[in-house]
Structures are given as structure tokens and as C-alpha cells.
Amino acid sequence: MIRRFTLLLVAVVAVAFGVTSGAASAQRGPDRIDLVSQTTFVSEAEVSIAVRLPNLQPGRHMQIRVFRPINEPERILDTITNPPTENPEIANFVIEDLSEIAVGSGDLFMITLPDDEVGEMLRRSPGAIPVRIDLTDEDQAIHDTLVTFVIAEDTTLSARIDLGFVADAQSPLARRADSIELDPADAVDRVADAVNNAPAPVLISFAPETLTALADPTTDGGQLALDRIRRLLDGHLIPLSPWVSIDEEAWRLTGDPERLIQLFAQGREVTEKLLGRTPMPIARIDADTTADTVAFLRSVGLTGGVVEPSQIDDVALTQADRRPIEVLDANGITVPVLVVDRAFEASLIGEDPELIAQHRFTELMFEAKTVSTDRGILLDLSTVDRVPLVLLIDLFETTDRLGLTSVDDLLARPPARDDTGSVLRVELLATPPSSTDLAASDLRLRLAEAVLDSYAAMLAPAEGLLAPLRDILTAAMSDELDADSRRIFADVIFDVVADVTAQVELIESSRITLASQTAALPVAIHNGANLAMNVTVKTTSEKLRFPDGEELQITLEPGLNEFEIPIEAVTSGDARMFITVTSPDGHLDLTDGSVNVRSTAISGLGLTVSLVSLAVLLTWWLRTILRVRRSRRAATVSSTPSADDGNPAVSVNEESTS
């Protein structure tokens, strides 16, 4: 049965400008019903519902129907999407002649349900009581429908559902190849947008590299911005993060985990130094993260994470039911993660934020009654519609079943369980790495790093000159850069080192004559750079020896540097000494040259060789003389011409022969 009342008996009408929220007061065209406010819980007072009818047209009526309570969250959602059409059990009445009192924009209607007629029925049974309001015309055609709920609450205990929050306040990469490009005001605004009016502690994502850029003396207004960011982040959570935003999975695949470990260590160090805060061991995990990378993240201190719904399979997501999920790493060890509830965020989008807030509040109230353990809903303040969220949080203050908390508290709650009651353990669903060209970039960056390490050994302890170069090298790993950009960053290192080392010159002298076997050979090296450099001077020669060794560690001051190298001549005559100047580790060749040396002194070995040669010569001479003399003393036979009688001309002593 439909009961008809005059408007003055059941509705108080007020012409209100600027009374409603910004979203509700927006002009959305005629024949609409917007919820402004309402009684949330049934009590001893009358139930009132304030609605707004923008641009109300003549001849419109309003029908209000109140249905029996429901308790199941699924039925509540179904009632919202499919307004009930059956006969109402509690109330059914019509407000006529709306146009006689309110025509135009900005009209607010306060509908009060008669307590003497329906109040007792509203209080009879606990549950969510659907109230359907239709805007109709004289032909009973429905132009718009609004469904809301008033709650008859019971006093039995229930679990609790809390909202937790994350937000993204990252600025673009500030460190460029040849400068720092950062707007300090923009960096502050990003953090302010993330935390302003935040209802609870928020896990704020940002790159510590931004802090380094703000602290750089060349950044105008950087220190002031850094102070403001420090104040804005007070009371909020800072996640574990590398110094610059990177694709951990892609860089891990290059086989250089030490570089990643250093990057996370640098991020922690900068955060502690510039913010005076220790990061939480919680991180937002990239979509391409595999079990191997989860293991790596654990090695740098990760104890909890935040993931997107696409990283968890649908079955596990349903079983989790807004509880932490244990994610497996490559070693079978688990890390709890929370899933950003994108579906809940989507449910907050709509044209009537007040009505949306009432719907979500009612759903959560009765969901809390159906679960056995506390639940958590993680929302991203960077993407969620703040207007209905604020209205929803205002409603939270009316009950102790719903509340707000921090991400670390949600992670500490009992984990999700599967259908068998066992703890739910899953591997993340990983997309292919977004960066597929890092192998070549990694090789070039490794070479640049080796060059920079050699350069650092030359300049130590001049760390102030090296810090900007190390920042450039580290910034080259940013996921904002492509392969060509990384090459440009690495080339900066090569160019700087080449420019400095090219200013070291060995001054070659004319031929040096040595009058003794040992001497100190003068050497001159010019350092054209405006800084001192530690170098190694290496000497080699085939005919010279170096009593103090072939390497000499010296410091080249700016300008001309003269020093002596002790040498020892192996032989007399001409010799060439080759000189090479390198970095202390020998990896960088700075300059080289040679020195010609003539030795007029006879060395000990030369003297020995000469004496031996002389002895051999004298012996040969002596033996030759003796041999000649023996030849002269030997018997000689003289041959003379024969006599006519044919007897030899030899005189023979006969007596001696008898």
C-alpha cells in the first residue's frame, strides 16, 4: 500500500547553496537524486535522509520504500546494483508536488521517516535496511533511483577491518649526465600531495636520489625544500629502496648483484643522513619480480612487500580475502606481502560520493561480521578518489569495527590460509623484464666503474671530486633511461678521466752521459691539472739496472715535478731507459717516454772480462814466442851441391863410427 503525504508533513526543504560537498553540489543535469547526508545507525531518534535534486523539473514526485533488513555482504552489493522491486515490508510512501516548493538548482530535501509509524519496525531486527528513493513524474515513470541503507546494529563482537595506505611521491631523475635538473618546489608538492590530509601513516615511495639532488649546493632552494620534505614525512613510513629507481629483476639478470647491493646501501645511507630516518624493511615490488629476485631483496633486508593484484593468481587472491599472503623466494623462504585493493578503489568512483561512501561503509560493516580474523584493505592514495574516501573514513568514526592503521601493522597480521587451512604460500606472477638491453649497458658501466676506481686511487682522498662522478655512474642504472642515455652517462666518466690524465706529460731530456757505474738519473714530469695525483712510475731497460726497483710511487703536484731514479749501468756505451706513468693500480696509462744514456765507466763485469781477455792474449803471445825459439834451436840440415865423384858433401867422423 502506498501512502501519500503532503511535502510539509514528511520533508523539510531548505534552499542551500554551498552546503553540500564539492562533488555533490556539482551540476549534473536535471532529474537526478544526490545523497547529501543521512542517519547511519538506527537509534531512538528519527531516521533522516538529506538528498539534493539538481535542476528539478516541474511535475516530479518522490517515492520512498523501506525494505526488510539484510545481513549478507553479497546481498548488500546485489541490492546496490539491482534495486529491490518487491513490496516493501516496512514503509512505502510518496512525496508529491515537489515543483511547488523547489524549482531550480541548489535545493536540499531532508526526508524524515515517521518514527511513530516505522521506528519500531526499523529497530526490530539487526541488519542493513535498504531504502529506495525514486524520482518519478505524473505518469509514474522513474527518472532516477537512489538506494541507501540505515543500519540496525547488534552488539555482538566481530572482527575488525582496517584501511592502510601507500602513496607514490617519486620525482623524475634529477641527476643528468652533465647537470642536476630538479624543481625543488615540485619535489615538495609531490610529497605534500601524497601525505596531505592522510588519515593514517602512509608508506611513501620516493627515490633517495631526489634528496641528494636537493642537498647539492648547486640546487637553488634545495635545502629549504629538503627541510619541508622532512617535516611532511614526519609520522609516515619510508620504504626500503635503492638510491635511484631501478628494475631489480633486469639488473639481477646481468649477473652483478654486488652493484644492486651497493645501490640499496646507498639509498639507506642517504635516507638516514638527509632525513634522519631509518627506512622500513618494506618495499613495493615490481611486476617483473621473480622468486630469485625476492631472494635478492631478502638479502638486502626486505621483510615485507606491497604488490599489485596482477602479481597474484586469482585463486590465491580470493583465498587471501584481504589478509597478508606469504610469497616464496627461490630458496623456499617466504615474505609476507599486501595486495593493493584496486577493486575497492574502483568501487569508490562515481558521481555521488556521499552515496558511495554509505554503500562501502555498509558493506564493510557486515563483512566484518562474517570474517573470523581481522582484515586489511590497502589503498593507494596516489590513485584513489579522495572525496568518497574522506566521507567513508568519517563514517568509520561511528563504529569500532572499522578503522585505520599502518602498512607494517597489516603485514604483521595472521597470514592468509587456503581451503585446507594451511598457510597460503605462492610465487609471484612475473611479467617479462621491462628492460631487455641491460647486458651491453652493464658491460659499459662496469668498464666506466673500473676507470673511476683507478681515477679514485689517483685522487684519494679527494672524495669531494669523485662523489658527483659516482652519482652519475649510479644514476645511469635508472629505469627512466634507455641504452643510449646510459651510454652518454658512462661516457661522461671516460671523458673526465681522459681530460685529466691527458695533462700529465713526461719531459724527455737529451742524452745523458754517466761517468760512473751508478748514478741518480733526473726525471721531470709536468702535471697540467689543478690537482695532485698519486701515480706509479715504471722503468725498464736492457742495459740498466734499478737498485730501488722498477716501480716508484710518487705524488705529482700541479706543475713541474722533478725527481731522481737510481740506476746502475750494466755495460758501458749507449742504453735506453723506458718510463711509463700509470695510475697506482696500473690500469690507466697516463704518459710514457724514454731517456738515452751513455756510460763511459767500466763496470766490474767489464773490467773482469777485459782482464781475462788480456790474460788470454798474453798467454797466446808467450806460447807463440816459445814455439819460435824452439824451432831455431833444432838441428838443421844444410843441403849443398854434389861432388864430381858422386859422394855426398858431408863430413863424417869415422872414429866415431867404428
- Picking from 129, 152, 175, the residue at the C-terminal end of a domain is 152
CATH of the domain at 399: 3.20.110.20
Looking at the fold, whether 133 and 188 belong to one and the same domain comes out as no
- Is residue 555 situated within a structural domain? yes
- What pLDDT, on a 0 to 100 scale, did the predictor assign at position 418? 92
Please give the sequence-ordered ranges of beta strands (E in DSSP) within 528-599, or none if there are none: 533-540, 544-545, 551-556, 559-569, 573-582, 589-599
CATH of the domain at 524: 2.60.40.10
| Contact between residue 320 and residue 424 where contact means Cβ atoms under 8 Å apart | yes
Domain extent, residue 592, equals 504-604
pLDDT band at 131 (very low <50, low <70, confident <90, very high): very high
Average the pLDDT over 218-236 and give the result.
96
- What pLDDT, on a 0 to 100 scale, did the predictor assign at position 654? 40
- Picking from 475, 501, 527, the residue at the C-terminal end of a domain is 501
- Is residue 609 situated within a structural domain? no
Phi, psi of 461 (to 5 degrees): -100, 35
- Is residue 366 situated within a structural domain? yes
| Contact between residue 145 and residue 33 where contact means Cβ atoms under 8 Å apart | yes
| pLDDT winner (highest mean) among 57-61, 196-200, 619-623 | 196-200
- Picking from 393, 426, 459, the residue at the C-terminal end of a domain is 426
**Residue 478 contacts by C-beta under 8 Å, 6 or more apart in sequence?**
173, 209, 244, 245, 246
**Is the model's pLDDT at 200 over the cut of 90?**
yes
Q: What are the beta bridge partners of residue 149? A: 130
**Is the model's pLDDT at 321 over the cut of 90?**
yes
Average the pLDDT over 459-464 and give the result.
70
**Is the model's pLDDT at 24 over the cut of 50?**
no
Looking at the fold, whether 491 and 577 belong to one and the same domain comes out as no
**Residue 334 contacts by C-beta under 8 Å, 6 or more apart in sequence?**
326, 327, 328, 425
Mean pLDDT score across all residues of the chain: 85
Looking at the fold, whether 495 and 509 belong to one and the same domain comes out as no
| Contact between residue 538 and residue 583 where contact means Cβ atoms under 8 Å apart | no
Looking at the fold, whether 259 and 305 belong to one and the same domain comes out as yes
DSSP reduced 3-state for 164:
strand
Dump pLDDT digits (tens) for 530-573. 999 999 999 998 888 888 889 999 999 999 999 988 888 877 77
- What pLDDT, on a 0 to 100 scale, did the predictor assign at position 631? 65
Dump pLDDT digits (tens) for 509-519. 777 777 677 88
Q: Using alpha carbons, list the distances in angstroms from residue 390 to 48, 343, 430.
A: 21, 18, 34
- Is residue 337 situated within a structural domain? yes
Average the pLDDT over 442-470 and give the result.
86
- Is residue 654 situated within a structural domain? no
How many domains does the chain contain in total?
Answer: 4
- What pLDDT, on a 0 to 100 scale, did the predictor assign at position 649? 38
Looking at the fold, whether 479 and 403 belong to one and the same domain comes out as no
Quote the Cα angle for 444-450-455, to 5°. 125
DSSP assignment of 210-263 equals: HHHHHHSTTSTTHHHHHHHHHHHTTTSB-B---SS---HHHHHTTT-HHHHHHH
Looking at the fold, whether 295 and 409 belong to one and the same domain comes out as yes
Looking at the fold, whether 112 and 165 belong to one and the same domain comes out as no
- Is residue 623 situated within a structural domain? no
Looking at the fold, whether 145 and 246 belong to one and the same domain comes out as no
CATH of the domain at 71: 2.60.40.2550
Looking at the fold, whether 138 and 193 belong to one and the same domain comes out as no
Dump pLDDT digits (tens) for 565-607. 888 887 777 888 899 999 999 999 999 998 888 877 555 555 5
pLDDT band at 135 (very low <50, low <70, confident <90, very high): very high
| Contact between residue 56 and residue 102 where contact means Cβ atoms under 8 Å apart | yes
- What pLDDT, on a 0 to 100 scale, did the predictor assign at position 442? 85
Looking at the fold, whether 291 and 340 belong to one and the same domain comes out as yes
- Is residue 644 situated within a structural domain? no
- Residue, of 535 and 617, whose pLDDT is higher: 535
Write out the three cell numbers for 583: 695510475
| Contact between residue 60 and residue 136 where contact means Cβ atoms under 8 Å apart | yes
Dump pLDDT digits (tens) for 637-656. 444 444 444 444 333 344 43
pLDDT band at 435 (very low <50, low <70, confident <90, very high): low
Q: What are the beta bridge partners of residue 417? A: 423
Determine the Cα–Cα distance for residues 114 and 109; give it in Å rounded to an integer.
Answer: 15
- Residue, of 621 and 375, whose pLDDT is higher: 375
Instruction: Return the amino acid letter for 503.
Output: Q
- Is residue 641 situated within a structural domain? no
Average the pLDDT over 351-360 and give the result.
94
Q: Is 608 left (phi over 0), alpha (psi -120 to 50) or beta?
A: alpha
Looking at the fold, whether 178 and 211 belong to one and the same domain comes out as yes
Average the pLDDT over 620-639 and give the result.
61
Dump pLDDT digits (tens) for 256-281. 888 899 999 999 999 999 999 999 99
Nearest to 78 by CA among 32, 147, 145: 147
Looking at the fold, whether 393 and 455 belong to one and the same domain comes out as no
pLDDT band at 1 (very low <50, low <70, confident <90, very high): very low
Looking at the chain, the whole-number percentage of residues with pLDDT higher than 70 is: 85
Determine the Cα–Cα distance for residues 478 and 475; give it in Å rounded to an integer.
Answer: 6
Q: How many CA atoms lie within 13 A of 174 on its CB side?
A: 25
| pLDDT winner (highest mean) among 22-36, 148-162, 169-183 | 169-183
